[in-house]
Structure 1
Amino acid sequence: MRTDPDAPFASTWWGDAWIAALEESALDPARLARGRAYARAGHVDTITVEPGRIVAYVHGSRPRPYRAELRMRTLTPEDWDRFLDAAAADPGHLVSLLARDMPHALAATADRTGARLLPGRGDLISSCTCPDRGHPCKHAAALTYQTARILDADPFALLLLRGGEERHILDELSHRNARAATQDAPRAPGGPESPAADPPPLPGVLAREALASDNRPPLPPPLPPPARPGEAPLLPSAPGAPDPAALEFLATDTAARAHAHLTKGTPPYADPDPWRDAIRLAASHPGLSGRRTFSRRFAELAHAVGHTPTALSRAAAAWRQGDEEGLAVLESAWDPPAGPFDRARGALAAAGLPRMTIDRNRLTDPTGTCQLRYGRDGYWYPYRSEPGRADWWPDGPPDVDPVGTLTGLLAT
């Protein structure tokens, strides 16, 4: 989620109040500062808000993003009853809410009823797959700051986080308002024994009349495909139910396939090779891949196609580096034409970089830890290994400039 780096995180009362609650409860101001920098740099992917939690992938210093999560207690049914009764009793609140607006005075009303909406000290619990155990870590802090922008656009997201579905809340407010109006309405002439008047007929056409004819209007034209695949829903865990992370993975892949089919007009990924399909699947879901530690789900995917988790992880990293060409650079060496290859060696020498040894399309530095591989697409692919192991892994995006690619590799 990239935003204007100079824009404030919040421009409404609800967004400002959310940030104030975060900064009052944080234990480490330095992590908040790093979280603000991450959020401004666009490191936070699409945010999902559901009852009791907010989740997003946040990109850090490693190629794989981290899964950051914020949890907050949902309100009980009794809390909601008190809150909705108080909101319906205030004409200003009622009119605003039914118009899908949340006045900031509603926060004080919620506090008076004991159904607090904004998080207090200790209410917002953060977690992240990164090794930092700070409260919050910089990735969770970045997610929290970006959530303020969601509340700017739709404060009802805060009610959802507290466990209140927007449609249900509006329906309950409408029922409470209608009940109050009925109780306050004047009695009809003739006293309580007078029969109630029949309600006016609702507008429309009876179903039996609409279906009596075989003539059907034409279907509307299909909507244009979206700019990018949709996000997979975040499913709750339940005893006996499938693993929600595995379902999220499959839904993400299905959305990518459907979007490619809509935009390109042909079935995507028609290659029947199970190994290549497993590579693409592993590369499409960053939560599956590792380098030395692997989830059970990832190991099962590797074993299903007859490879080790390490081999699948390496191949997935190459696919993320350059799709089909990135995988080809990993799997096979070739003899490039002398012209561009020799010019690249001359450019490296002119830049004062270490003299590289040559092996077909590969240039390796004297320490045996950095390597450039020349692809058939004219790009240089950076690789890294631990000293003395020749265990080469893709390391960063490819570039047409070998000097910039090697300089970045040596710097890290």
Structure 2
Amino acid sequence: MSRGRRAPVRSYGVTGWGRAFLDAVEGGAEHRQVTGARRYFRDRHVDALSITRGVVTASVRGSQLDPFDVRLEMRTVDAETVVGLLVSQGATDDLLDLARGAQPPTLGGFVAPTESADVVSDCTCPDERPRCTHVLAVAFEVAAEIDRHPATLLTVMGTDLPELLAAASGDGASGDGASGDGASGDGVVPAGSTGSDGEDRAPFGDDPFGDRLVAPPVPSFPAVDPLDDLDPTTLRHALRATGVATTEVTEALDELAAVYEVLTRRR
């Protein structure tokens, strides 16, 4: 790192799903522990972070010579229950939105922990409080991962997208591909359709990954240059916050303009 250049600012819990996870873990934590955890997160004191179904483990370098071991165990969700709730709310498209990298709020509300009791924490440090500084530091790292990769929340809560899609399509396809029970001729059941018995069918049929879906047309870009509409001072501050050196801000702006020019040609 060159002299005078600061490391990029790290963030956590800046998205809805990341914040929801943190709200459950931080519940009841003291301000002192939260402040110390932020420092540990900023200084990268969390090592060996492992996120598996319903369990998060890591080691945190604290005030003693040896690191402390942290373990978080979640009250996991049931895939079929989550899908049933999505169907009842007419929000099964949330699964496809998640596959595209979005954080649909309805799905998040059914998956994310809602209270402190949903997350049991343990740390080898001598602090006997439920949420010590090391536990919170690990939670911040998990929230940052959720911010970057929304599907991480599913793993944390004991499921994943393929399992949810399988639950959504498990009862949707007819055995012989006939269309008389509400299925289309190619075996795909339209979203919100019902069978001859009046029961709701799963919205994805036998095409849970949308291989036969027709992609929507590429949206057209407005005939304006958004870079001209942005406050140049604010934009420069945003670039600096990502770690771009002051001497490279102008070059970064030129690169943004070039990228936008390429995008607007593909209409």
Aligned to 1:147: 142
Aligned to 2:130: 135
Structure 1 pair 21/184, CA: closer, same or farther in 2 (3 Å)? same
**2:15 paired with 1:12:** yes
Quote how far apart the aligned CAs of 1:154 are. 1.8
Aligned to 2:115: 120
**2:67 paired with 1:65:** yes
Quote how far apart the aligned CAs of 1:148 are. 0.7
Quote how far apart the aligned CAs of 1:11 are. 2.9
SS at match of 2:118: coil
Aligned to 1:161: 156
Spell out the pairing of 1:138-217 with structure 2 (5 A cutoff): 138-176=133-171, 178=173, 183-185=181-183
- Give 2:36's aligned amino acid: R
Quote how far apart the aligned CAs of 1:97 are. 3.8
1:165 and 1:54 mapped to 2: Cα distance? 15
CA RMSD of aligned residues (A): 3.0
2:7 and 2:52 mapped to 1: Cα distance? 26
1:177 and 1:101 mapped to 2: Cα distance? 25
**2:76 paired with 1:74:** yes
Structure 1 pair 92/170, CA: closer, same or farther in 2 (3 Å)? closer
2:7 and 2:141 mapped to 1: Cα distance? 12
Structure 1 pair 40/123, CA: closer, same or farther in 2 (3 Å)? same
Spell out the pairing of 1:26-37 with structure 2 (5 A cutoff): 26-37=28-39
2:61 and 2:79 mapped to 1: Cα distance? 36
SS at match of 1:122: helix
SS at match of 1:46: strand
2:61 and 2:145 mapped to 1: Cα distance? 19
Query: Is the 1:66–1:139 Cα contact (8 Å) retained in structure 2?
Result: yes
Query: Is the 1:5–1:41 Cα contact (8 Å) retained in structure 2?
Result: no
1:63 and 1:103 mapped to 2: Cα distance? 43
Quote how far apart the aligned CAs of 1:100 are. 5.3
- Give 1:120's aligned amino acid: E
Quote how far apart the aligned CAs of 1:130 are. 1.1
Quote how far apart the aligned CAs of 1:68 are. 0.8
Spell out the pairing of 1:94-113 with structure 2 (5 A cutoff): 94-99=95-100, 101-108=102-109, 110=110
Aligned to 2:84: 85
1:15 and 1:152 mapped to 2: Cα distance? 6
SS at match of 2:59: strand
Query: Is the 2:83–2:92 Cα contact (8 Å) retained in structure 1?
Result: no
SS at match of 1:93: helix
1:133 and 1:22 mapped to 2: Cα distance? 16
2:170 and 2:71 mapped to 1: Cα distance? 35
Structure 1 pair 43/184, CA: closer, same or farther in 2 (3 Å)? same
Structure 1 pair 90/117, CA: closer, same or farther in 2 (3 Å)? same
Deviation per CA, 1:286-309, whole angstroms, max 9, x where unpaired? xxxxxxxxxxxxxxxxxxxxxxxx
Aligned length: 176
Structure 1 pair 35/124, CA: closer, same or farther in 2 (3 Å)? same
Give the % identical residues: 27
Structure 1 pair 177/93, CA: closer, same or farther in 2 (3 Å)? farther
Deviation per CA, 1:232-283, whole angstroms, max 9, x where unpaired? xxxxxxxxxxxxxxxxxxxxxxxxxxxxxxxxxxxxxxxxxxxxxxxxxxxx
TM-score by length of 2: 0.57
Deviation per CA, 1:140-196, whole angstroms, max 9, x where unpaired? 1110111110111222222222221443223333445546x96423689xxxxxxxx
1:170 and 1:100 mapped to 2: Cα distance? 15
Query: Is the 2:113–2:119 Cα contact (8 Å) retained in structure 1?
Result: no
1:34 and 1:57 mapped to 2: Cα distance? 16
Deviation per CA, 1:103-124, whole angstroms, max 9, x where unpaired? 122133x2xxxxx522413222
Query: Is the 1:44–1:57 Cα contact (8 Å) retained in structure 2?
Result: yes
- Give 1:184's aligned amino acid: G
SS at match of 2:125: coil
Structure 1 pair 51/176, CA: closer, same or farther in 2 (3 Å)? same
Spell out the pairing of 1:378-389 with structure 2 (5 A cutoff): none
1:186 and 1:126 mapped to 2: Cα distance? 48
Q: What residue ranges of structure 2 are gaps of 5+ in the alignment?
A: 1-5, 187-267
Structure 1 pair 5/19, CA: closer, same or farther in 2 (3 Å)? farther
Query: Is the 1:85–1:176 Cα contact (8 Å) retained in structure 2?
Result: no
Aligned to 1:344: none
Spell out the pairing of 1:261-340 with structure 2 (5 A cutoff): none
Quote how far apart the aligned CAs of 1:125 are. 1.6
Query: Is the 1:5–1:40 Cα contact (8 Å) retained in structure 2?
Result: no
